[in-house]
Structure 1
């Protein structure tokens, strides 16, 4: 099972840090050149592999830690998205409901990746919290996830646990998933909530 993080901003680096902490290999890519990503990857750890976008999207599970609206550009990098799991870490804060056609942002994002299954996860914590050790006293920091595909949600939940977090499923994207999706200039109820599961 190969993993890739698309995005090398604060959230992308926080996700890479979570992988490095557990000694798990993950590719990191962005619209930047591989040469510009090399010092970022080196600073995080030896299991973080800088790659060109076209190579990173060959992974089985791909994190989108990019600004909303750039997903279409990322989608063009792969010949096919069939069978892949896309983890939507995007927060579409400030994007109007009209622009989203009154759909949850994750549903809109999923339209760019035909053949892939989408799981919303890792987006509710600020980058600086996401980068911290998820072990808190005698518990583990919670990561919420939602998906319309139960099998994909299970696979991502397993990865969440491997990274040391506690997965909490919220159900489908248009149901519990709305609790972690911004709407216009309103943050959903669970965004920025730092919960620990004991």
Structure 2
């Protein structure tokens, strides 16, 4: 598989670093263009490259890691996803200072993201963990880092599980985007910001 990131911040770089270390190719993108990512790509290693958002979105699995208020612009204008996997790592903060959670009514953040990415198979993941728990090796002396995920497409979730199990995480399927997404969502979801290890 090949991978892409829409967004090139701390979360995107942490995930990309794990993937590159395991021998996967990753195209990293941001809103400012590939020329602004030379330093980032050089730190990730030779399997990482900088691209446009459209180029990153062509990967088999793509990670959406932009701030919530940039999601619509980041996904706007992209062609149909044609069944590729889009991992939504965002949290629906309407603004950063002070932090304010967007009111989506009955919908979850990932259901809204899905409406902006026609043809994508959405998996919610990486939004419940602070970056400091994603960056290091997920295999610790006390156990493996739990990684909660949700989605409506069983094969997409199975692929996500297989990839990140292989990287040393302990993925846990918490259900569909509606119910599982609520468990993972900021503003009341009990799994939001929960750090735990699985003892194997």
Q: Distance in 2 between matches of 1:176 and 1:58?
A: 27
Q: Is the 8 A contact 2:2 2:24 kept in 1?
A: no
Q: What is the deviation of 1:75?
A: 2.3
Q: Is the 8 A contact 2:109 2:181 kept in 1?
A: no
**2:101 match:** 95
Give 1:164-175 correspondences, 5 Å limit: 164-175=168-179
Q: Give the structure, 1 or 2, with the largest relative contact order (CA under 8 Å, sep 6 or more).
A: 1
Q: 1:33 and 1:17, CA in 2 relative to 1: closer, same or farther beyond 3 A?
A: same
Please list every run of at least 4 consecutive aligned residues from structure 1 whose deviation after the TM superposition is greater than 4 angstroms: none
Q: Distance in 1 between matches of 2:188 and 2:3?
A: 29
SS in 1 for 2:155: helix
**1:120 match:** 124
Q: Distance in 2 between matches of 1:30 and 1:192?
A: 25
The alignment's C-alpha RMSD in Å is 1.6
Where in structure 2 are there 5+ consecutive unaligned residues?
94-99
Q: What is the deviation of 1:18?
A: 1.7
How many residues are treated as equivalent by the alignment? 193
Out of 172, 181, 188, the residue aligned to residue 177 of structure 1 is 181
**1:105 match:** 109
Q: What is the deviation of 1:69?
A: 3.3
**Structure 1 range deviating more: 48-57 or 110-119:** 48-57
Q: Is the 8 A contact 1:57 1:77 kept in 2?
A: no
**2:37 match:** 37
**1:194 match:** 195
**1:15 match:** 15
**2:150 match:** 146
Where in structure 1 are there 5+ consecutive unaligned residues?
none
